[in-house]
Chain A
Amino acid sequence: MTVVFLLILVSLVVALGFLAAFLWAVRSGQYDDDYTPSVRILFDEKQTEND
């Protein structure tokens, strides 16, 4: 069942990658404001032209 360990390894690498992303997000202040982003997405700037 060598493949089990291969899969665990690959999955772990992916998981660690996401962990790094999570730490980056927290440290860089992405989550300092956990309310207004949800409101801001509701405002779209007026469209002047279609292309």
Chain B
Amino acid sequence: MAQVEKFHYDNAIVRNFAYATMIWGLVGMLVGLIIALQLIFPQLNLGIAEVSYGRLRPLHTNAVIFAFVGNGIFTGVYYSLQRLLKARMFSKVLSNFHFWGWQAIIVAAALTLPLGLTSLHEYAELEWPIDLAIALVWIGFGINMFGTILKRRENHLYVAIWFYIATWVTVTVLHVGNNLELPVSAFKSYPVFAGVQDALIQWWYGHNAVAFFLTTPYLGLMYYFLPKAANRPVYSYKLSIIHFWALIFIYIWAGPHHLLYTSLPDWAQSLGTVFSVMLIAPSWGGMLNGLLTLRGAWDRVRQDPILKFMVVAVTAYGMSTFEGPMLSLKSVNAISHFTDWTIGHVHIGALGWNGFLTFGMLYWLIPRLFSTKLYSEKLANTHFWIGTLGIMFYAIPLYWAGWTQSLMWKEFTPDGFLKYGNFLETVTQILPMYAMRVVGGTYIWPEISLWYTIWSRRSAPARSLATKQPKRLHWLARMACTKANTGTAGWKEGLFKCFYLRP
């Protein structure tokens, strides 16, 4: 008689990556907040080279992209891959190697970047020993993923898996290509190409890092976690397949849009523009596919914070993939390049698309990983709104600042001289916008709430001991209420119930 086969998914590795996502998310965004403050209060550089703007900025970008988004990708991939393939991960050793290796690389980055050890390629600043380590860990991840695919119990490869595969293959090629460098000492190397050649390699990498680290893996996550959270199949599976293949074949060629008006040959610049504009089609197809998945379920979106996070994420994906092609047009790029418009564009994608999809995924995942319920739906909802406000406070002032800068730079006096010949004049003009961006730093809040969700899991049974339901009252009454609710559950619990939830 045939026996029913039994196997277990590895949830421990998913949990580890989820913790790492939250830790590094907090760290990376705090550093973002610090550099945002430094732009207004240069004194915050403290006169110490290690914590000055120029050193901390690459720390921010590396931390949020490779540590926060990176671990977020791995969390989602290790969870969904096993379930989509009906197989446990290929190798527990490789999973752990991947996890600890990646965290060690992040720590190495956090140490070397403030020390000023950098290879000067944006988003690939890390020096050659760390580059080698990244390659090794990445290959370990690849073997683990392909091994799992090979031993799968499900013949069909769901579209999300294709997105993961494309991510792996392309990032491998890009990482190797952009880090071809000649070491001269333990912590110094020089790229093999120079000048405009180096710039082209850099932006072929830089653009595709956005495409294959911030976009394709997250599309895979969207195609898995959005239908799961909504509990309905994706609007059109056929469209998702077209989305994938169209995106893959177009994305690679769009890199030159970062080098408009440079000494790069004109035909290459135009090629970049043409492919960027073509990208609207698959990108918007994907966005609509995500949003239409929720057709007939909008009443649930109104209630469910997880779906809300995801709706904003997909909308932000649509916005930045419309804005991007516009920025690729030479006439628009003449306005946007060198201004804060670019920074606004970046963070619509980063905070809206990557950040909110991560939060939605984690809020969905964590209760499942710990076999419990979300600690407080209300808390999650509050954080959704604070996060959304954070995005607006980040983006809108920066668009304003971008246009202000651009207009001032191009203004002439009647005699034909630059009206604002001193760069500092444009800087002081946009300081209020920078201040508003700092307010946008409230975006960090959802991170803290995620921590609370995990932390409070431990005191879950104690929660029911909370005695009275406090009424809407004066703060003195809230203090009393806190006291009443501080029992076995601890004072945090009381404070939280009586002040935070404001019943």
Q: Which residues of A contact B (CB under 8 A)?
A: 1-4, 7, 10-11, 14-15, 17-19, 21-22, 25, 30-31, 33-35, 37-39, 41-42, 44, 47, 49-51
* Interface residue stretch chosen among B34-42, B223-231, B460-468, B469-477: B223-231
Contact between B200 and A44, CB atoms less than 8 A apart: no
Provide the residues of chain A in CB contact with B240, threshold 8 Å. Answer: 38
User: Closest chain A residue to B11 by CB distance?
Assistant: A50
Contact between A37 and B173, CB atoms less than 8 A apart: no
Task: Give 5 pairs: A residue, B residue, CB < 8 Å, sorted on A.
Answer: A3-B197, A41-B84, A41-B224, A42-B233, A44-B83
Contact between B227 and A22, CB atoms less than 8 A apart: no
**B265 beta carbon closer than 8 Å to chain A:** yes
**A38: which of B9, B233, B268 is its contact (CB, 8 Å)?**
B233
Complexed CA–CA distance, A31 and B201 (Å)? 36
Instruction: Mark each residue of chain B from 211 to 242: 1 if its CB lies under 8 Å from any CB of chain A, else 0.
Output: 00000000000001001100111100110110
Provide the residues of chain A in CB contact with B170, threshold 8 Å. Answer: 14
CB under 8 Å from chain A, chain B span 140-195:
156-158, 165-166, 169-170, 173, 177, 193
Nearest 6 A/B pairs, CB to CB: A38-B233, A38-B237, A3-B197, A34-B238, A39-B233, A11-B252
Provide the residues of chain A in CB contact with B224, threshold 8 Å. Answer: 41
Q: Nearest Cβ in chain A — how far from B281, in angstroms?
A: 18
Given contacts A30-B157, A49-B8, contact A42 B237 (CB under 8 A): no
Contact between B249 and A18, CB atoms less than 8 A apart: yes
> Chain B: interface residue count, which band?
35 or more
Given contacts A18-B249, A31-B241, A50-B371, contact A37 B158 (CB under 8 A): yes
Contact between A37 and B237, CB atoms less than 8 A apart: yes
Instruction: Mark each residue of chain B from 238 to 261: 1 if its CB lies under 8 Å from any CB of chain A, else 0.
Output: 101100010011001100000000
Interface of A is mostly: helix
Complexed CA–CA distance, A6 and B231 (Å)? 46
Instruction: Mark each residue of chain B from 1 to 39: 1 if its CB lies under 8 Å from any CB of chain A, else 0.
Output: 000000011111000000000000000000000000000
Contact between B197 and A1, CB atoms less than 8 A apart: yes
Provide the residues of chain A in CB contact with B241, threshold 8 Å. Answer: 31, 34
Contact between B265 and A34, CB atoms less than 8 A apart: no
Contact between B169 and A51, CB atoms less than 8 A apart: no
Q: Nearest Cβ in chain B — how far from A27, in angstroms?
A: 14
User: Closest chain A residue to B245 by CB distance?
Assistant: A22
**B204 beta carbon closer than 8 Å to chain A:** yes
Contact between A7 and B201, CB atoms less than 8 A apart: yes
Complexed CA–CA distance, A49 and B12 (Å)? 12
Contact between A4 and B265, CB atoms less than 8 A apart: yes
Contact between B252 and A14, CB atoms less than 8 A apart: yes
**A14: which of B8, B158, B173, B265 is its contact (CB, 8 Å)?**
B173
Provide the residues of chain A in CB contact with B201, threshold 8 Å. Answer: 3, 7
Contact between B177 and A10, CB atoms less than 8 A apart: yes
Provide the residues of chain B in CB contact with A22, threshold 8 Å. Answer: 245
Q: Nearest Cβ in chain A — how far from B204, in angstroms?
A: 5
Contact between B253 and A11, CB atoms less than 8 A apart: yes
Provide the residues of chain A in CB contact with B83, threshold 8 Å. Answer: 41, 44
Given contacts A7-B201, A14-B173, A42-B233, contact A25 B248 (CB under 8 A): no
Contact between A3 and B248, CB atoms less than 8 A apart: no
Provide the residues of chain B in CB contact with A35, threshold 8 Å. Answer: 237-238
Complexed CA–CA distance, A33 and B193 (Å)? 47
Q: Nearest Cβ in chain B — how far from A21, in angstroms?
A: 8
Contact between B228 and A33, CB atoms less than 8 A apart: no
Contact between B252 and A51, CB atoms less than 8 A apart: no
**B169: which of A11, A17, A47 is its contact (CB, 8 Å)?**
A17
Provide the residues of chain B in CB contact with A49, threshold 8 Å. Answer: 8
Contact between B227 and A3, CB atoms less than 8 A apart: no
Complexed CA–CA distance, A42 and B253 (Å)? 35
Q: Nearest Cβ in chain A — how far from B166, in angstroms?
A: 7
Beyond A41-B228, A51-B10, list 17 extra A-B contacts (CB 8 Å): A1-B197, A1-B265, A3-B197, A4-B268, A7-B201, A14-B170, A14-B252, A15-B249, A18-B166, A31-B241, A38-B227, A38-B233, A41-B224, A42-B231, A50-B11, A50-B371, A51-B12
Complexed CA–CA distance, A49 and B193 (Å)? 54
Provide the residues of chain B in CB contact with A17, threshold 8 Å. Answer: 169
Q: Nearest Cβ in chain A — how far from B28, in angstroms?
A: 29
Contact between B156 and A37, CB atoms less than 8 A apart: yes
